Chain A
C-alpha cells in the first residue's frame, strides 16, 4: 500500500514570495491533515479536511496561509506572502475517518521550507 506522498521535499524561497505544497493521501482515506513542525518542536495542526470539507482550521494563519482539497483526494497548502518564521517542515497526514476514536494518522515525509 502506497503511503502519503508529498512534494516537493525541499523548498527555499525569499521572504514575501509565495510557495505551494502538494499532498496525496493514502487511497481511501477520508481525512487529511496539514501540520507545521518548527525545528525542535512537535508538529502543530494547521488544518484538517474531511473529504473536501474543512473540519478545523482554527490554527491556520488565514492572512497568509490557505489550503484546499477540491475533489476530496489530494490537497494543496499555500503560503503567500512567506515570512521568515514560516521556515519549518510541513507535514501531511491522512486517516480513514476522523470520528473514530481510534483513528490512526499516517504521515508523509514532509516538505522542508526555508525562507531567507
Chain B
C-alpha cells in the first residue's frame, strides 16, 4: 500500500525545469523519502533521497517541506531522455512502497 500520492501525469518543455510534487502526509519522523524513475522497459533507477533537509545531486534536487508532509523533485533542465515514470517512495522499515507514480513527458 503506497504511502504517497502523486499526479498521474505531467508535461514539461525541453530545457525547462520539471517540478514533480508528492504528498506523504502520514510519514513518520525517521522515514526517508526516495525518488526513482523508470524508463520504458527498464528497471527503476535511483535518483535521490532525503529526510528533512533539501538535497541536490547531479541528477536532481529534492525539496522537502518543513512539516515533511510533501516534497518536490526538481529536474533543473529537462531533456527528452527524462521522459519516464517517476516514483516517490517512503521507506517504511525495510520496504519501499511504490505507488503508480507520475508519468512525465518532456516535449520538444
- Residues of chain A having any CB pair with chain B under 8 Å: 4, 40-45, 48, 55-56, 91, 93, 98-99, 101-102, 104-110, 112
Q: Give the shortest distance, in Å, between A59 (CB) and chain B (any CB).
A: 10
6 additional contacts (CB under 8 A) given A101-B32, A107-B44? A41-B100, A42-B87, A42-B101, A56-B95, A102-B32, A106-B46
Q: Which of B41, B43, B98 has the most CB of A within 10 A?
A: B43
Question: Do A40 and B95 touch across chains, with their CB atoms under 8 A apart?
Answer: no
Q: Give the shortest distance, in Å, between A44 (CB) and chain B (any CB).
A: 7
- Residues of chain B having any CB pair with chain A under 8 Å: 2, 30-32, 34, 36, 41-46, 49, 87, 91, 94-96, 98-101
| Known A48-B94, A98-B94; contact A42-B46, beta-carbon cutoff 8 A | no
A104–B94 alpha-carbon span in the complex (Å): 11
User: How many Cβ-Cβ contacts under 8 Å join chain A to chain B?
Assistant: 49
| A104: B residues at CB distance < 8 A | 34, 46, 49
| A45: B residues at CB distance < 8 A | 95-96
Closest B residue by C-beta to A44: B98
| B45: A residues at CB distance < 8 A | 107
Q: Give the shortest distance, in Å, between B66 (CB) and chain A (any CB).
A: 20
List 26 A-B pairs, Cβ < 8 Å. Answer: A4-B43, A40-B100, A41-B100, A42-B2, A42-B87, A42-B100, A43-B44, A43-B98, A55-B94, A56-B94, A91-B44, A93-B44, A98-B94, A101-B32, A101-B91, A104-B34, A104-B46, A104-B49, A105-B96, A107-B36, A107-B44, A107-B45, A108-B43, A109-B41, A109-B43, A112-B41
A64–B5 alpha-carbon span in the complex (Å): 32
